[in-house]
Amino acid sequence: MSATVQAGPATPAGPASGLSSRRPLGDRGFQVLALVSGLLVLVILVLIAITMSQQSTTWFTSEGWSGIFSIDWDPAHGKFGAMAFLYGTVIVSVIAIVIAYPVSQGVALLLTEVVPRRWAAPIVSVIDLLAVVPSVVWGLWGILILVPWLQAHIYGHVASAVNNIWILGNLFGFLNHNYVSGASFFTAGLILAIMITPIVTSLSREVMATVPTTDKEGAYALGATRWEMIRGAVWPHSQTGIIGATLLGLGRAMGETIAVALVVGASPTISSHLFTPGYTMPSVIALQFGEATVGVFRAALIGMGVLLFLLTIIVNLSARAIIGRHARRMGGAA
Amino acid sequence: MHLRGRRQVTTAGLAVFAVALAACSSSSSSTTSSTSTSTASSSATASSTPSGSGTINAAGSSFQNTYQLAAIAAFKSVDPSITVNYDSVGSGTGRADLYANTVLFAGSDSPIPAAEASKVPSGKTVLYFPVLIGPITLSYNLSGVTNLKLNADVIAKIFQGEITTWNNSAIAAINPGVSLPSTAITIAVRSDSSGTTQNFSLYLEKAAPSVWKLGSSSTIKWPSTAHAGAQNTGVASIIKSTPGAIGYVDYTDAKASGLSYASVENSAGDYVSPTPAGASADAAGATIASDLTFAAADAGTSADSYPVSYQTWDLVYAQQPNANDVAMLKSYLGYLLGAGQKLLPTLYYAPLPSSLDQQAIAQLSKITS
C-alpha cells in the first residue's frame, strides 16, 4: 500500500472511499447501509440469473442450439423449440410500439405545446390512470369484451377488404377458409399499446418540456409555424430522450404476462397473419408451468425465462443509457 | 484514512456476500432425502393425540380442487385439531412440491412419469391413494342438434382438424336421422397445461390408436385453427359463444355452464351420456396395479360405462419422519376415502368403485414413521 494522503475533514462531496474516521458515526453508518443495500440488489439479480440458468441446463444439453431455436414446441413428443415464442414476443411488442408511439407522441406534444398549462395537469392525471389499471383487469376486459367484438365486427371485414392486396394481405388477410381470430397477435399488441402509452407519454412529455424556450421563440421569430417549430426546435432536442422512453415502453411490453396470456390465443405458430393466434414467452411460462413435469419440459420453461430476462435487461439497459446520454448532453434534463 | 475506509467497504461487501452464500447453500435442496427439520416445518409439532394435530399442507391437481375444498370444510367438524391447506397449482407443480418436501401430500391426475422417477429421494416410496373419478364431456354448440353421438375415431379426426364441417359423412353415419348443418367445426381446447388434456388425449390414444397422432401429454400441439381458453371455464365460454364449436370440458364445469354434451361410444358398442355413474362403471373395468395406479380412460367393458373418464390420486411418502404426521395423514386421507366419498355426487364427481376404495383404505397402514 502506498502512503495515503488523509482526506480533508468531512468534505460532503468526497469520494466514496472517503469513509474517513473523521466523519461522524451517523454519516458512516448511513453510508455503510446504503452501500449494503446497493450491493444486495446487484447480488440478488446475479443470483437469480445464476440459479435460473442452472435449472435450465437440461434443456440446453438435451436439445442443443438447433433444438432450442427450432419452431417445434410439442411437449407430448419431447420437442421444446422456443422460436415461436421469441417470434411472438417480438411481434406483439413491435405492434404495441407501432400503435403506442404516434399516440403517445401526439399526447405529449398536446400537453407541452398546445394545451394551456392549466389543463395540462388534469389531462396528465387521466393518462396516468391508464397506468394504474392492473394488468389482469386488462386481460379480463380483453378476453370478455374486446376479443369477441373484434372477431365479430372488425377482423372479418378488414381481412376480406385487404385479402388480395400485396403486403397487406399477408399481414391482415385471411390465413385460410376465412379464418380470423379475436385472440391473436394483433389484439395482444393492441392491449399492450394501451398499457405502455402512459409510460411513453409521460417520459416524452418530460423530455419535451426541457426544450429551452429561447429555441422555440427563436423559431417563431424566424416565421415558423407551430408544426415547423416542433420539427425544428422540439424534436431535434428531445430525440434521444424519446427513443429512450420508447425503449422503456418496449421493455415493459416484452415482459407483460397475464394480459397477453389471456388474449394472445395460445398457439405456438409463426405466421405473418396478425389476426391469427400466437404465443409469447411470458404467456407460455404462466400457462404451462403448473403441469410441466420435472425434467426437460420444466427446464425449457425456466430457460425461456432466462432468455426473456436477458432480453428485457438488454432493452432496459440500452434505454437507460440512451436517456442518460441525452441528459448529460442537454444539461440535466429528464 | 483511505485504509480504514477501504476496510469498511470490504467488510460491507463481505457481509453481503456471506449472507447471499448462506441463503444459497441452505436452499439448494439436494435430491437425497431431506432432513427432518424441513418436514417438521410443514406440520406444527403437537401433543401426540391418536389422530394427530396440526396443519397438513398439500398442493397439486386442480381437478380434485373442488372436492378438497368441500372435504376440508367438512373435516373441520370431524377433527377440529387438524387444519388442511390445499393449493391448486397443477399436478406437475404439486409433484415437484412433494419431491422438495414442502407438502405432505400432492394431488396428481397421473402417476409419476418416468422422467421424474429420479426426483423421488432414495429410500422413499410414493404411495398412490385414488380419491375420485370424473367424466370429461365433449360439449358442443350446435343449434337444433341435441343428441349428438360420437365415437373415438370421429373425435380424433375432429381434434386433429381432419373433419372440418358438421355435416361430414363420418359424423352423419353415426347420427342417423339427425339433420346436421354445414357449419364449420371450431375446436375449443385448453391454453394452459392440464391433467384434463392429458387424460383426454390418453383416451384418444387408447381408443383410436390408428387415427390419433398428437400423443398424450398435459400440453398438446393442437391444429393452428383451434381456439384456446384458460381452464375448463375458458373452454366452456368459447363453446358457449361460438356456434359450431366443440371442446372437452370437465363434467362439473359443463353442468355449471349449461352446455350440451355428446354421447360417446364405449368398447361395448353402446352410446353413453357422461354421468358420474358412467364414470364409475368405466373405472371399474380398469386394471389396478399393485400400487393402485390405473388408467380409467376407455377401460370399462360394461354397457353403461362412459369411456372418457379420468381419475386423480393423492401421493404420499410411505416413510414419514414423525408420528404426528402419520396420524394426521391417516385421519384426513381416511376421511377422503371414507365418509368424504358421500360428498362426491353433490359435486358432480363419481365416487371410487368400492373394491378400489377398500384397497386404498387398506393401503393407509403402509404410512409409517
Across A124-147, average pLDDT: 90
Q: Is B93 on the interface with A (CB under 8 A)?
A: yes
Q: Which residues of A touch B113 (CB under 8 A)?
A: 293, 295
Q: What is the pLDDT of residues B177-229, one digit of tens each?
A: 888 998 889 999 998 888 899 999 999 999 999 999 999 888 899 988 888 98
Q: What is the pLDDT of residues B307-344, one digit of tens each?
A: 999 999 999 999 999 899 999 999 999 999 999 999 99
Cell of B127: 404411495
| Burial letters A84-111, b for 16+ CB under 10 A, else e | bbbbbbebbbebbbebbbeebbebbbeb
Contact B95 A292 (CB under 8 A): no
Q: Which residues of B touch A35 (CB under 8 A)?
A: 9, 12-13
**Helix, strand or coil, per DSSP, at residue B288:** coil
Strand runs labelled E in A3-150: 73-74, 79-80
A162 has pLDDT over 80: yes
Residue of chain A nearest B115, judged by CA positions: A295
Q: What is the pLDDT of residue B13?
A: 66
Cα separations in angstroms, A56 against A78, A239, B101, B362: 15, 40, 21, 41
Domains and CATH numbers, chain A: 81-333 (1.10.3720.10)
Contact A289 B90 (CB under 8 A): yes
Q: Is B78 on the interface with A (CB under 8 A)?
A: no
Residue whose C-alpha is closest to residue B212's, from B136, B173, B161: B161
B50 has pLDDT over 80: no
Across A253-267, average pLDDT: 91
On whether the pTM is more than 0.90, the answer is: no
Cell of A257: 404476462
Q: What is the pLDDT of residue B39?
A: 39
A223 has pLDDT over 70: yes
Residue of chain B nearest A271, judged by CA positions: B224
**From A20, A43, A287, residue closest to B191, measured CB to CB:** A287
B148 has pLDDT over 90: yes
**Residues forming beta bridges with residue A79, ordered by sequence position:** A74
The C-alpha atoms of residue A309 and residue B247 are separated, in whole angstroms, by 35
Q: How far is B97 from chain A (nearest CA, A)?
A: 11
Q: What is the pLDDT of residues B239-268, one digit of tens each?
A: 998 889 999 999 988 998 999 999 999 999
**From B5, B91, B227, residue closest to A20, measured CB to CB:** B5
Handedness of CA B294, B94, B96, A307 (dihedral sign): positive
**From B6, B119, B192, residue closest to A17, measured CB to CB:** B6
Q: Is B195 on the interface with A (CB under 8 A)?
A: yes
**From B13, B193, B198, residue closest to A39, measured CB to CB:** B13
Q: Please report the residues numbered 126 through 165 in chain B whose beta carbons come closer than 8 angstroms to any beta carbon of chain A.
A: 164
